[in-house]
Every structure is written in C-alpha cells, then in structure tokens.
Amino acid sequence: MSQKRILIANRGEIALRIIRSAKEMDLYTIAVYSDADEDSLHVKRADESYYLGGSLPADSYRNLKKLVKAAVDTKADLVHPGYGFLAENADFAKAIEKKGISWIGPKPETIKSMGDKIESRKLVTKLGLNPVPGQLKPSRLKRDAIKDAASFGYPVALKAAHGGGGKGLRIVHNETELLENFEIVKRESEAYFGSDQIYVEKFIKPARHVETQILADKHGNVLYLGERDCSLQRRNQKLIEESPPAWLSDYGREKLKEYTLKIASNSEYVNAGTVEFLADSDENFYFLEMNTRLQVEHTVTEMRYGLDLVKEQIKIALGHSIEDYELEARGHSIEFRINAEDPSNNFLPTPGTITEYREPTGNGVRVDGWARTGTQITHFYDNLISKLIVWGVSREEARSKGIRCLEEYVIGGIPTTINVLADILKTKEFVNSQIHVKFLEENFEIRELEEDEVISDRPSKVNISLEDSANPTLAPQRPKKIGMDLTGNIKNPGLIFAEMQGTIMETMTKQGRKVKKGDSLFVLEAMKMENVITSPIDGIVKTFNITKGQAVKKDDLLVEIEVKF
C-alpha cells in the first residue's frame, strides 16, 4: 500500500504540530508557504513544500484557488486546514472534496450551517437551547445594527457571522462606537473569513467563557471530551485556557454535556469540534458558537485524556470508528499563549527578531511552537509564538508548574506575554478560579519598563489581590485600557507616530480639517489587528502623511495636529 500524502494548509505552530502527528502515522507531509515563511520550521520539517505566493494572507494562506491547486499538484490524499485562515471555509472544504481529496474536518454542509454564527443560533433555538440574545440575520446596514443594539441594550458585540478566534469581533458601548466599528468589523470579517456578514449580539457581563470538545466519526459515534475554561482574554482573544473549569458544578457539567451532544446529533457532526458557551453562573449557560475545526487550546484536552486529537482527526477522515474508545480524564491541564506583544504597552503586537530562545522542560510540560533564535516575527500574521501546556495531578500542581515553566522560558529581543502570565497565576482571583472575560481590561495594571527589561523579556506586572502583596515591584498603579494607543507624546501631544509597522486601512480626516479630542483620524492594521486612532487633542490637522492602503514603518510621523486657540 502506497504511503498516504497529507497537505497542511496552514503555517506556524499548528502546521508543525500537524506534521509531527502525521509523521508518527507514517504519512508523507506537504507544507505550504509564503514569501515570509520560506525559512520557517514547518517548511523544513515537512517531507515536501509548496510555494503559494506573497506574504499577504490573501496571496497565500487565504487564497482558496492556490491552496486547491497545491493539493492537486502535490497529489495529496488528505488536506488538514489547521485553524484560522480557511479552516472554517465551506467552499474550501467542498473544492477539496470535488478533487477527490479527503477533507480532515466536518462536511462542507456542516461547516456552513454550524460555522455560520447566525445559522447555528437558529438551530440551537429550535433545539430548545438559549443562545446569547442577538440578531438572527446579518446587519447589512448600519441602521439595522443601531436598531437591534438599542433593543438589546448596550454594550453589544459586533461579530463576524463566519468568524471565530476573537477575529471580527468588537464590543461597543454606545451608538457612536457602533458606527465607528461597523465597517472595521465588516473588513476584518471579509479579510479573515471570506465573508463581510456581521451581526449584533448582546454582551453578557460579567461572564465566563467555557467550551466543550467532541470527536465524531462517520458511523454516528460521538465522543465527549469534557470542558475547558477560556475566560482569561484580551481583545476577546484567549491567553490562558484550562481543563477542567474549577468553578463548574457537577450539574453544570451534565448540562453542558447534554447540550453539546444534542447539537452534535442534530447537526450530524463529523470530526473534531468545539461548542462554546458564555456562563453567568456555574449552572446557567448561553450558546455562543460552534467552531467546526481544531481549536488552538485542544492541547489541554489532549493532556487530560492522553489522546492525540490530530491523529484522531486523520483516522476519522480515513473512515475509522471511535465506537470502542474508553477514555478517562485525569488531573488538570493549563495552556498559556506566548504572544509577541507588549503587556506594558496595552498588549501592543511587537514584530521583530528573536535574539535568544530557550523553552522550559520537565515532567508534564509541553511546548507547541515554531520559533527559534533568529526567527523573524512578521507583521503579516498572528503574533502567536508558541503554546506552553502543563499538566498536574491537581489544579494547584498545574498552576505551580505553570509559574515555574514561565519563569524558565526565555525569549530575547522582543517583549512577550510570558511574565504577565506568570503574574496572573499568582493572583487570588486565579487561585480561587474567579476569572471572567473582562478581567484584564478591568484590572490590568502596569509599571513602566526599563530599556534592558524589554530586551530581556521582563514585561509588566499584575497587581490584583496578589498573594505576595508586600512585593514592592507589584505596587498598585492605574489600569490602562487594552488596545493600541497612538495618542501623541508628552512634549508634542499633537504628533502621532507609528508604534509599529502596519497598513493604513481607512482615513477619516484630511489636512486642514478641524478635529476634537477623541475624533477618529485613521485605521491602522498591525499583525492582523485593526485599530481606530483618535485625535489626542483639539486642533487643526496640519500634516496628514497617510493614504488608504499605505504601508507605514515604526516611528513614521503619520499625523500632526496643531493646537488652535
């Protein structure tokens, strides 16, 4: 029998992670790459690599035609989409299957129905489950969104109908913010998911984010693989995930299992999938969405169940049955996302070159990454460097192990989330499992960094009921809002410089125009995050050095506003 060939339609750590499992199954691995990733580890570790095109996702990893051609040209038997890019694109799955190639994931029809946030909300409503209150049709016009937002009551979420992973999602607190973010969310939705359909959903606060993992084969068997807490977030994207959620009651677990299996059965689900919920108590849940793909945080489930979910995905795609599986969860697992961003500067993404790289090791320790000394973190893609996963016989052992490993982890040359994650683990809120989705925005406090600290990766400190409150480096300071802040400088508050390399996505003013403090000036995209930059002062736009679509470099002077009395 000839060796099966698998094409991985992704990049970075997830591409490497899939390659490793595929090689252990004696599959021939095929990587795809862009200009920016020519020397990446996933390209070097694969048996074969295929060049897609330019560094922009639209020219490579999000180009459906090029990826289908790659699968055909390389005579692939299977395609694994990873997560992000086209992982939840029903047209991509359908195009692959039309070529006689096995798609490692749900059927295209299921991706369309469950991956579409609006259609999935309709389904669960018919099943008697409660989705988060929101629209059951896309907001094509701003006036539709305004009307529905008013009926739900602010704050509300503007969400991509085909989205996930925190992309294409903005929380708005009034009509002004809704109007400001409406087109941004539509653009993000189109860029990330190939559809600009968005909708309005009530924002539940405070809330915890909990999700459930399933595997389902082509023979009607469904395996329930427990729950994960994903409440520690910034910009609606997860930073820490753990399994099981310590705050969840036995009754709550049974209800989540019941809801999840009902959704899987009625959607005729096949392969790996995740159902996400928001909880306003340990027993009351709202259906949020279903991710018809592998999750970034699938690793914590693997650590508890001793199961390789990627291998199981591949087996299911090849027709294997999971009927006889008998699995028992054990211990506690926590995942930490190590991102190239600066917590001392509102978690601003930070492209650059890694000058030193050393991973932690030890019993019950796993690192899924793609970087090494010399790796360039580019602004073209997500800033995830790696995922650190720890396992312990108890939550406290896993927490302590997480602190030790984060303190051992060394990444030089750029600031990362490493130290702030260790600080969070030391808070009473984390110890007592009292984290909610807005914990960082409401409580994150920083201290200014010395230059040598940035280089050696010693970012901010958190001061939220820390157990060691006597530590002078953790003295209380004023919280800062998470997001990009280009509000000029102290000596010249009207000067706005680019804090990092990026692209101007939209302009809302021009030279000579009067502006007030807080008025929107332009939209800057950096490392796949769009930011509305506002005027820091009242005045007149004296210099406007930017146009839509323009690439800018770090420290470029973008706008000068002159104070007029």
- Which is nearest to 12 in space by CA: 53, 44, 42, 51? 42
How far is residue 314's CA from residue 403's CA, in Å, rounded to a whole number? 34
Cα distances from 518 to residues 160, 460, 503, 532, in angstroms, run 26, 27, 21, 10
% of the chain residues with pLDDT over 70: 89
Q: Mean of the per-residue pLDDT values for the chain? A: 87
One fold for 116-130+205-330 and 338-483: yes
117-141 average pLDDT score: 82
5-104 folds as Rossmann fold (3.40.50)
pLDDT band at 490 (very low <50, low <70, confident <90, very high): low
Whole-angstrom distance between the N-terminal and C-terminal Cα of the chain? 82
Is the pLDDT confidence value at 177 over 50? yes
Is the pLDDT confidence value at 496 over 80? yes
What number does CATH give the domain 116-130+205-330? 3.30.470.20
Cα distances from 529 to residues 166, 181, 187, 350, in angstroms, run 10, 13, 11, 12
Q: Which residue has the higher pLDDT, 524 or 63?
A: 63
Q: Which residue has the higher pLDDT, 481 or 132?
A: 132
Is the pLDDT confidence value at 244 over 80? yes
Q: Which CATH class is domain 338-483?
A: alpha beta
Choices 2.40.50.100, 3.30.70.141, 3.40.50.300, 2.10.70.10: CATH for 495-562: 2.40.50.100
User: Reduced to 3 DSSP states, what percent helix, strand and coil does the chain have, rounded to the nearest 5?
Assistant: 30, 30, 40
Neighbours of 251 (CB within 10 A): 10
Residue with tokens 């990826």: 67
pLDDT band at 215 (very low <50, low <70, confident <90, very high): very high
Q: Which CATH class is domain 133-202?
A: alpha beta
Structural contact between residues 482 and 438, judged by C-beta atoms closer than 8 angstroms? no
User: Which residues are within 8 A (CB) of 433 and not within 5 positions of it... i.e. 6 or more apart?
Assistant: 229, 245, 246, 247, 395
% of the chain residues with pLDDT over 90: 60
Q: Which residue has the higher pLDDT, 196 or 419?
A: 419
User: Which residues are within 8 A (CB) of 175 and not within 5 positions of it... i.e. 6 or more apart?
Assistant: 146, 149, 150
Rounded to two decimals, the pTM is: 0.81
Domain boundaries, the chain: 5-104, 116-130+205-330, 133-202, 338-483, 495-562
pLDDT band at 197 (very low <50, low <70, confident <90, very high): confident
pLDDT band at 450 (very low <50, low <70, confident <90, very high): very low
Q: Which residue has the higher pLDDT, 165 or 192?
A: 192
Residue 184 CA, distance from chain mean position: 17
Structural contact between residues 410 and 361, judged by C-beta atoms closer than 8 angstroms? no
pLDDT band at 457 (very low <50, low <70, confident <90, very high): low
